[in-house]
C-alpha cells in the first residue's frame, strides 16, 4: 500500500468518528437538470478511476443534450474518492460556484485524467489540478484554500461513508438510475435503453 493510499484511509477511518452531522454543503451542490425530471441518474465515482472517466466521456455529453437539457433527467455526481489524489480533485471541484461550471470542470478532469493523476507526489498532482482549474474562473488562491478546507473534506468523506452504507459500493463507477443499479456497458446506446424503459 502506497503512502498516499495509506494516508487516505487513515483520514477516512478518523472521519467516521469526527464528521459532524450538519455541514455547510449539500448533495444539491453537484447536480444538473430539473428537480421535476422523472429520472434521476446518480454516479458514484473516484476521479482517478479510468472506468469512471470512460463512463463520463462516453455518456455524459449525449445524456445532457438528449435528456438533461430537455428536463427529462436529473444527473448527480457523487464523489467516492479511492485515494488522496481523487479526494483533492473533489475538493477543487467544489470550489466552482455554478452547476454548469462544475460539470464542465468535471468533464475536463476526466478528459485530462492521464495528465494530472500521475506519479506519487501529491504536491505535483495538486499543481496539475490547479492548472486545469484556472480555465474555469477559479484563482490559484481559491483552489489552494479549498484544498485545506476541512469543511469541504468532511462533506466529501461523509458523502462517501453514507454511500458505502446505503448502496454497498464495491467499485467505481457505481451508477443508479432511479435507485436501480445499472450494470450495463459504458455505452450511450445501452444506457439510453435503460432510461427509455422507464415510464
Which residues in the chain come in under a pLDDT of 50?
1, 5-6, 10, 13, 16-24
The pLDDT value given to residue 19: 43
The pLDDT value given to residue 8: 54
Sorted by where each begins, the domain ranges of the chain are 3-16+28-196
The pLDDT value given to residue 26: 52
Compute the distance between CA of residue 129 and CA of residue 193 in angstroms, rounded to an integer: 35
pLDDT tens per residue across span 17-53: 444 433 445 555 689 999 999 999 999 999 999 999 9
The pLDDT value given to residue 101: 85
The pLDDT value given to residue 195: 97
* Model pTM score: 0.86
The pLDDT value given to residue 12: 54
Q: What topology does CATH give the domain 3-16+28-196? A: Glutaredoxin (3.40.30)
Q: List C-alpha distances in Å: 14 to 19, 86, 126, 140, 164.
A: 9, 18, 23, 29, 16
DSSP letter (8 states) at residue 67: I
The pLDDT value given to residue 100: 77
Amino acid at each position: 500500500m502506497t503512502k498516499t493510499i495509506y494516508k487516505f484511509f487513515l483520514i477516512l477511518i478518523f472521519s467516521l468518528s469526527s464528521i459532524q452531522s450538519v455541514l455547510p454543503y449539500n448533495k444539491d451542490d453537484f447536480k444538473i437538470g430539473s428537480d421535476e425530471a422523472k429520472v434521476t441518474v446518480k454516479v458514484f465515482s473516484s476521479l482517478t478511476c479510468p472506468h469512471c472517466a470512460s463512463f463520463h466521456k462516453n455518456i455524459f455529453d449525449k445524456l445532457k443534450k438528449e435528456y438533461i437539457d430537455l428536463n427529462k433527467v436529473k444527473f448527480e455526481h457523487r464523489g467516492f474518492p479511492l485515494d488522496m489524489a481523487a479526494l483533492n480533485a473533489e475538493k477543487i471541484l467544489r470550489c466552482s460556484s455554478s452547476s454548469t461550471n462544475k460539470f464542465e470542470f468535471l468533464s475536463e478532469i476526466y478528459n485530462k485524467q492521464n495528465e494530472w493523476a500521475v506519479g506519487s507526489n501529491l504536491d505535483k498532482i495538486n499543481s496539475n489540478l490547479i492548472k486545469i482549474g484556472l480555465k474555469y474562473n477559479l484563482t490559484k488562491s481559491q483552489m489552494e484554500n479549498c484544498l485545506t478546507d476541512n469543511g469541504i473534506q468532511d462533506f466529501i468523506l461523509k458523502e462517501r461513508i453514507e454511500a458505502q452504507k446505503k448502496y454497498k459500493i464495491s467499485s467505481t463507477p457505481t451508477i443508479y438510475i432511479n435507485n436501480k443499479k445499472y450494470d450495463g456497458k459504458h455505452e450511450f446506446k445501452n444506457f439510453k435503453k435503460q432510461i427509455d424503459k422507464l415510464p
